[in-house]
Structure 1
Amino acid sequence: MLNIIIFGTGSSAQKFVEMLDSTKVTILCFVDNDISKQYKKFKDRYINPPQKIQDFRYDYIVIASQYSNEIMEQLLDMGIKYNRIIPFDYGLHNKNNMEYYKKVHSLMLKDKQQHNHKLKIALINYNYSNYNGFALYKYMPDFIKGKYDVELVTSNDKEYLSKFDVICSSHYDGIYNGVHLNFEMWHGFPIKILGALQKTVTEKSIQYYRNRSQHTELVFSYSQLYTTFFNACFPSCADKYRITGMPRNDLLFEEGSLDKLESLCKRSLSGYNIVFYLPTWRKGKNQVIETSCEWTKLFGFKDEDTDRIKEILEKNKLFLVVKLHPFEFYQFKNLDIFQHEQVFLLSEDILMEYKIHLYELMGCCKVLITDYSSIFFDTLLIDTPLIFAPTDLDEYSENRGFLLEPYDYLTPGPTVFTLEELEKELKKYLNQEDEWKDKREQVKKLIFKYYDNKSSLRVWTEIDKYLSSYEMKWTN
């Protein structure tokens, strides 16, 4: 039973009272600014002055007056929270809050508010490398297609995004205003420190994280370990987590990865050993700098020599696919090594143009070289051999830090600091000398609950379960 106060005693109040369901609502009193009406009765309830509102324990104050904007401002000045104030004529009062007001009305009126349209779901996919939206759209089950209006959103336009009821994001890039429903998938298993644990975090950032978490309905997780790590960085309620795996990881199991890579490179790669080099960023958005490392060299080794790299590529029939982080691609895309015919610099623009996700290419990868990029965790699902080249490990650990140390505890592959060491470890893998296979399996069991390609289906099932429960809550 809702306890309400009605502000207004004119024709709007008369109309509103007639619409109320007495089994759902108790009118505590009426309120009016007109002194001549105060302390008299209206509809068998006393009319109080506004200052008397504080004497009552109420759920909502309903503004039933043509002066709703003025009364709203008056109530806010009195310290009453805006989400406890509901204009009766919400359509005229404030279009931006229309959906919220509709929901509260449905709790009070006799006639149920029926949804006459499908919920609109936005799957954010601002790039084709670390977002989950593309995979979630690609593997959308038929029962979702028939029940909801789902769209893959590839342009970062908040005004357009605001038209959706539900937002599924991979970078906490939803709309966190209490009106939209947000589901978060993030973009990888965290190995480096994030969010509230960062040394540079401010109170303003903490408040931002709290608001974001408060208005996120579900967070999808790899495993209990992931939930523990992620919640340390972005604290939330434990019951918001659902262990499903990540939709984009389903793409790792796709066939035809070599064909797709050849379509991007516009050449045949038959006979080559495909090696990917996927480093993380050092200088990010807002010019946040993790280390002083600059990509003046491909790997950053002290003994690095471009001619020597070319020799290694040619001698071992290697085709090297390099993808710099989007933050740094345009700054370092003109290195001389990228002109070599056995090196391909993969850009976000190419992936977007062809609508091919990075994870659809990883199946043809013989060896993955990285530093701190969390992609190596995901490739454990297809048992990709790994080499780690953290050339600025000490500085990165000092400035950014890791969620679990030592760094090599969760890195199931050799760590190299010179070009000579890199060549040595590459040759081992190419000669089928894989001494890290058991360690990869051990780490995989820590990181994942599920090892299959059904994460998208599990995510959709949880989304549907939540939305079905949500709709029942507001329509019953």
Structure 2
Amino acid sequence: MTFNIIKRLIINILNLPLYIVSKIIPKTKDIWVFGSWFGHKYADNSRYLFEFINENKPFIRAVWLTEDKETFNYLRKKGYEVYYTYSIYGYYISSRSTISFVSTDFKDVNRFVPTPIIFYLGHGIPLKKIGYDDSINFSDGRRFTGKLLKLLFPFLRNMNDYDYILASSNVDATTLASAFRKNMADILILGLPRNDVFFMRSNLRSYESDNLKIVYLPTHRKEGSNNFFNFFVDDLKFVDKDLEKLKAKLFIKFHFYHGDSHLSLNSYKQIKPLEVDDIHSVINNFDILITDYSSIYIDFLLTEKPIIFFPFDYEDYIENDRELYHDYNRVTPGPKCKDWSEVIRWIEKFKENPSLFLEERRAIKRLFHRYSDGKNSERVFEYVEHEILHK
């Protein structure tokens, strides 16, 4: 622990001169910098806005920063402009840009030479408490330490230092203003770029087309430090047999924070891992979503397809992991299951009648989504271009 603290301190000291130099380098409003998931994934709202601008706004120089070799090579092959975050080019392009877009944290891009404007696009519509509202995982001591470090190293940023924050509805905007301690004027209700995929025909591709296709997307526990897989792994062999009877395939993808999990699904016939970095690139393929406290279901509401809620550890989660912004039963339009046998029963019911809970899903969709038109990226671009950079 002491070694890591000393290491971070040395890195900050070495980067301080670079930060000072970056402040005097002339900026341009035509270079927009993007990143996501601490530089380790090509995904989320940053990805979809980045691709929209590359495909539709050639007068903007959209640049992706990454620390991940696979992402770097993938984007190079696609013909996009991409640099390693802490390469010479990464520092230079960050110094020249006026604005950057992040989905997770300031560390999505080069944190040592932050752009004058930082736009937080987010990675979901919060159900569980985040930021300053997360009293279980965030303390006043951390806030004080953050302020102190910022005095020593002015390139460091705290959660309330985002210039603009993206929201999908009035309810979402109110939540985000509280979580980041921001004024409502800084929260822009324009819709999330990643949700444009629900209105793109090109997003559809074959996933076991002869079977009912189900995806299970549980949220993380304690940012990945709490392994909850043992709860259900012993039941999967029985689930596998039931799924075969139903002619259904179940795809499982764990949260990014559980990426190091070695849970093997190779022995199952109907249960498979979903091996994609960005769930939104394939989510339209599935007929039913199973989740717990993940806000992915709020996005999935745009499909109006069935959702099964599986909060098997609800009491423990609320007490020891995260509190929620909303009454769970009120905003989750679907059955609540405590074990896999209940989940299987509801898969069978939804297979027979997908319209069960349909009106409830539509009501919650209207609560969390102001826009359902596939034009979120366009709205974000227009606002940034005309209301922020060139007003």
Question: TM-score, with normalisation over the residues of structure 1?
Answer: 0.65
Partner of 1:273: 212
Partner of 2:118: 182
Partner of 2:257: 327
Task: Name the CA shift for 1:426/1:277 in 2 (closer, same or farther; >3 Å).
Answer: same
1:224 to 154, 170, 180: 170
Partner of 1:233: 179
**Conserved 8 A contact 1:176-1:182:** no
In 2, the alpha carbon distance for the partners of 1:170 and 1:424 equals 37
1:136 to 45, 49, 66: 49
Task: Name the CA shift for 1:159/1:205 in 2 (closer, same or farther; >3 Å).
Answer: same
Equivalent runs, 1:185-264 vs 2, <5 Å: 185-198=121-134, 199-207=136-144, 208=146, 211-213=157-159, 215-257=161-203, 259=205, 262=207
2:381 to 451, 457, 460: 460
In 1, the alpha carbon distance for the partners of 2:258 and 2:184 equals 35
Q: Percent same amino acid at aligned positions?
A: 22
In 2, the alpha carbon distance for the partners of 1:367 and 1:179 equals 41
Secondary structure of the residue aligned to 2:125 is: coil
In 2, the alpha carbon distance for the partners of 1:462 and 1:422 equals 43
Task: Name the CA shift for 1:205/1:343 in 2 (closer, same or farther; >3 Å).
Answer: same
Partner of 1:79: none
Task: Name the CA shift for 1:176/1:449 in 2 (closer, same or farther; >3 Å).
Answer: farther
**Conserved 8 A contact 1:97-1:179:** no
Q: For residue 364 of structure 1, report the CA deviation from its aligned partner.
A: 1.9
| 1:395 has 2:308 as partner | no
Q: For residue 393 of structure 1, report the CA deviation from its aligned partner.
A: 0.4
Which segment is superposed worse, 313-322 or 203-212?
203-212
Larger radius of gyration: 1
Task: Name the CA shift for 1:311/1:240 in 2 (closer, same or farther; >3 Å).
Answer: same
Q: For residue 152 of structure 1, report the CA deviation from its aligned partner.
A: 2.6
Q: For residue 176 of structure 1, report the CA deviation from its aligned partner.
A: 7.8
Partner of 2:63: 151
In 2, the alpha carbon distance for the partners of 1:323 and 1:380 equals 19
Partner of 2:101: 168
Secondary structure of the residue aligned to 2:47 is: helix
Partner of 2:73: none
Q: For residue 233 of structure 1, report the CA deviation from its aligned partner.
A: 1.4
**Conserved 8 A contact 2:127-2:326:** no
Equivalent runs, 1:436-447 vs 2, <5 Å: 436-447=357-368
Asked which structure has the greater RCO (Cα within 8 Å, sep 6+), the reply is 2
Partner of 1:294: 228
| 1:97 has 2:24 as partner | no
Secondary structure of the residue aligned to 2:272 is: strand
**Conserved 8 A contact 1:129-1:359:** no
**Conserved 8 A contact 2:22-2:113:** no
Unaligned residue ranges in structure 2 (runs of 5+): 1-16, 69-83, 151-156
In 2, the alpha carbon distance for the partners of 1:158 and 1:441 equals 41
Secondary structure of the residue aligned to 2:118 is: strand
**Conserved 8 A contact 1:192-1:401:** yes
Q: For residue 396 of structure 1, report the CA deviation from its aligned partner.
A: 0.3
Q: Which AA in structure 2 matches 1:295?
A: F
**Conserved 8 A contact 1:276-1:369:** yes
Q: Which AA in structure 1 matches 2:30?
A: L
Unaligned residue ranges in structure 1 (runs of 5+): 1-93, 104-114, 263-268, 471-476
**Conserved 8 A contact 1:141-1:457:** no
Higher helix share goes to which structure?
A: 2
Secondary structure of the residue aligned to 1:280 is: coil
In 1, the alpha carbon distance for the partners of 2:320 and 2:204 equals 38
In 2, the alpha carbon distance for the partners of 1:204 and 1:177 equals 26
Aligned residues: 340
Task: Name the CA shift for 1:433/1:124 in 2 (closer, same or farther; >3 Å).
Answer: closer
1:123 to 34, 37, 43: 34
Q: For residue 401 of structure 1, report the CA deviation from its aligned partner.
A: 3.7
Q: For residue 206 of structure 1, report the CA deviation from its aligned partner.
A: 2.5
In 1, the alpha carbon distance for the partners of 2:138 and 2:222 equals 17
Q: For residue 414 of structure 1, report the CA deviation from its aligned partner.
A: 0.3
